[in-house]
Amino acid sequence: KANKRLAQLMPGLVRHLHDFCRENEVTVEEWSQSVEFLNECGRMSDDKRNEGQLFWDILGVESLVDEITYKVAADSGEKPTTTAILGPFWRPNAPIYPMGSSTILKDQGGDVTHMHGSVTDFTTGKPITNAEIDIWHTAPNGLYEQQDPEQPDMNLRGRFYTPDSGDYDFYCLRPTPYPIPFDGPAGKFLKLLDRHPMRPAHIHFIISAKGYKPVVTQIFDRRDEWLGNDSVFAVKDSLVVDFAPKQGDEKAGFDLKYDFKLVAV
Residue 199: partners with Cβ closer than 8 Å, 6 or more residues away: 177, 178, 179, 180, 226, 230, 231, 232, 234
| Minimum distance from residue 207 beta carbon to Fe ion (Å) | 16
Q: DSSP class of residue 212?
A: B
| Minimum distance from residue 248 beta carbon to ligand DHB (Å) | 32
Query: What is the x/- site pattern for Fe ion, positions 63-102, by CB under 5 A?
Result: ------------------------x---------------
- Check: CB of residue 143 under 8 Å from CB of residue 178: yes
Contact partner at residue 136 from ligand DHB, Fe ion, none, CB < 5 to 8 Å by partner kind: none
In the complex with Fe ion, which residue's Cβ is closer, 87 or 110? 87
In the complex with Fe ion, which residue's Cβ is closer, 87 or 185? 87
In the complex with Fe ion, which residue's Cβ is closer, 128 or 256? 256
Cα–Cα dist 130/133, whole Å: 9
* Shortest-Cβ-distance residue relative to ligand DHB: 87
Residues listed for the chain: 265
Contact partner at residue 57 from ligand DHB, Fe ion, none, CB < 5 to 8 Å by partner kind: ligand DHB
| Minimum distance from residue 230 beta carbon to Fe ion (Å) | 10
In the complex with ligand DHB, which residue's Cβ is closer, 161 or 189? 189
Cα–Cα dist 81/73, whole Å: 11
* C-alpha of 37 from chain center: 24
In the complex with ligand DHB, which residue's Cβ is closer, 89 or 254? 89
Residue 45: partners with Cβ closer than 8 Å, 6 or more residues away: 51, 52
Bridge-based pairing state of the strands 215-221 and 240-241: parallel
Size of the site for Fe ion (CB under 5 A): 1
Between the alpha carbon of residue 204 and those of residues 6, 23, 227, 240, the distances in Å are 31, 40, 15, 12
| Minimum distance from residue 201 beta carbon to Fe ion (Å) | 10
By CB under 6 A, name the binding residues for ligand DHB. 53-54, 57, 62, 85, 87-89, 180, 199, 232
- Which residues contribute to the site for Fe ion (CB under 5 A)? 87
